[in-house]
A and B are shown apart, each in its own frame.
Chain A
Amino acid sequence: QSALTQPASVSGSPGQSITISCTGTSSDIGAYNYVSWYQHHPGKAPKILIYDVSQRPSGVSNRFSAAKSDNTASLTISGLQPEDEADYYCCSYARGVTWVFGGGTKLTVL
């Protein structure tokens, strides 16, 4: 199972919006509405931001939103804040009862 494809890095200034893409295949993202996104500050436990493509768990800011089209999912962060600087990973359930992560995107808040 190959990793999902994410840009290695994105950047934005405080207050701006950025979007991170996540491209998979018809065996993972394209087959199921089970895409999730995780925020990972180095040295800490990853934290879930989005599940089931676009659902936000309670306690997650509405500045985080996500969507999916065919084999590509995307995460948008609006109103960038300094504390948003972290690594972001997409994840999809895949055929064979497995899960596949993206390679991760490093967000820099300028």
Chain B
Amino acid sequence: EVQLVQSGAVVKKTGESLRISCYGSGYNFTNYLISWVRQMPGKGLEWMGRIDPTDSFTKYTTSLQGHVTIAVDTSAATAFLIWNRLTDSDSGMYYCARHRDAIRFDPWGQGTLVTVSS
């Protein structure tokens, strides 16, 4: 079974760094792009960016460029979403999703709840 399993909920303070993970199993991890999607409290889904595990080439939505980094460790079949400096507005649920046929998102991870407070 193809699965993406994400790291657990985390509580951090403003200005701290954070790395959350997404482990892929049941398929060849390097053959599929991975995207990160966020859902802020009470809001809809928002595509953040994606990475090609083959060469670590990344593409981000314009508003988040420079604020987050997407990375992979292919030896561990794991993708990461990294913040160097969290802000209050980073609180939300974060999902990773595998690209199927490069376009559709299937499957999704179970989500990681990030809470940032001052």
Contact = CB atoms under 8 A, between A and B. Distances in A.
Interface of A: 1, 3, 34, 36, 38, 40, 44-48, 51-52, 57, 87, 89, 91, 93, 97-104
Contact of A101 (B37, B101, B103, B109): B37
Contacts of B9: none
25 contacts: A3-B44, A34-B103, A36-B104, A36-B105, A44-B110, A45-B107, A45-B109, A45-B110, A46-B97, A46-B105, A48-B104, A48-B107, A52-B103, A52-B104, A91-B47, A97-B59, A98-B59, A99-B35, A99-B47, A101-B37, A101-B46, A103-B43, A103-B44, A104-B44, A104-B45
B95 A101 contact: no
A38 to B, nearest CB: 7
Contacts of A3: 44, 46
Interface of B: 35, 37, 43-47, 50, 59, 61-62, 95, 97, 100-101, 103-111
Contacts of A52: 103-104
Contacts of B107: 45, 47-48
Nearest to A45: B108
Contacts of A103: 43-44
A91 B108 CA distance: 14
Contacts of B95: 45-46
Decide if the interface of chain A is mainly helix, strand, loop or mixed: strand
B112 to A, nearest CB: 11
B111 A1 contact: no
Contacts of B110: 44-45
Contacts of B46: 3, 101
B103 A47 contact: no
Given A89-B45, A99-B35, A1 B61 contact: yes
B67 to A, nearest CB: 16
